[in-house]
């Protein structure tokens, strides 16, 4: 990977999917590995995730500076420069509606992310269809962007997606000239896969085979860790 620029998702890629977003915690093995990769790649390592920037820093113990958070809406460059949109005016309405809906069951979790809001129903799957209907309706009524995920529906401020942030990183001096490699697991990563392939890089789908823009695949988080630990 000497000439690569490495982009990694967190949930389902660097960490197993948890029932609740807050259930993913720092891990010493993962932290050591990311530090070694960052040094070996001379800083050409970025995390590209749906999580907030604060959550990334919590889980990765502040070791990774380059982060595209909230599915690419928020980007922090190697020099600390922060690119962040003003939250869409329709967000408060969506937040209120999701909280009302979540009052039906303690397994429904609303995650407010500043520029977006997500409704998780992994612990209340009987409400999945209704949650999706609600999200579609709110997107139509507010102008927010609907982001489908694994047992989650998210409404985002319009703006950059994961592929846009990867392209943004690749245009910075620290990443220019490298070949991008991106590993992710969810439908939310497809925009990133497509952009990496367009840039002449390599994309890796983590998890069961499905229709995807990714050219390569790994079975699970443990395979990702083994692949990265073997990288030179």
Q: Could you give the residue numbers annotated as active site?
A: 9
Structure tokens at 76: 């922090």
Counted residue by residue, the chain has a size of: 232
Using the structure block, give the residue that is written with the tokens 């999945």: 128
Report the distance separating Cα 39 and Cα 8, nearest Å. Answer: 15
Residue 63: Cβ-neighbour burial (10 angstroms; 0-12, 13-18, 19+): middle
Structure tokens at 63: 């070791």
Report the distance separating Cα 60 and Cα 57, nearest Å. Answer: 5
DSSP label at 158?
S
Report the distance separating Cα 215 and Cα 203, nearest Å. Answer: 6
Beta strand 202-206 pairing with 179-184: parallel
Closest alpha carbon to 21 in 74, 89, 93, 69: 69
CA 121 to chain CA centroid, Å, is 18
Three-state SS for 103? coil
């Amino acid at each position: 990977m000497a000439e690569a620029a490495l982009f990694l998702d967190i949930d389902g890629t660097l960490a197993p999917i948890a029932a609740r977003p807050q259930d993913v915690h720092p891990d010493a093995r993962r932290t050591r590995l990311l530090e070694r990769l960052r040094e070996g790649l001379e800083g050409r390592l970025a995390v590209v995730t749906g999580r907030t920037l604060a959550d990334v820093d919590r889980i990765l113990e502040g070791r990774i500076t380059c982060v595209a958070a909230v599915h690419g809406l928020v980007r922090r460059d190697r020099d600390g420069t922060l690119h962040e949109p003003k939250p869409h005016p329709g967000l408060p309405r969506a937040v209120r509606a999701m909280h009302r809906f979540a009052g039906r069951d303690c397994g429904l979790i609303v995650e407010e992310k500043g520029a977006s809001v997500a409704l998780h129903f992994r612990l209340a799957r009987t409400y999945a269809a209704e949650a999706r209907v609600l999200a579609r309706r709110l997107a139509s009524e507010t102008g927010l962007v609907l982001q489908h995920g694994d047992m989650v529906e998210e409404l985002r401020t319009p703006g950059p997606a994961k592929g846009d942030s990867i392209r943004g990183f690749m245009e910075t001096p620290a990443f220019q000239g490298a070949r991008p490699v991106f590993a992710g697991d969810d439908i939310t990563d497809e925009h990133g896969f497509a952009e990496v392939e367009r840039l002449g890089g390599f994309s890796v789908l983590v998890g069961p085979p499905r229709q995807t823009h990714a050219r390569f695949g790994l079975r699970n988080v443990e395979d990702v860790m083994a692949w990265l630990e073997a990288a030179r």
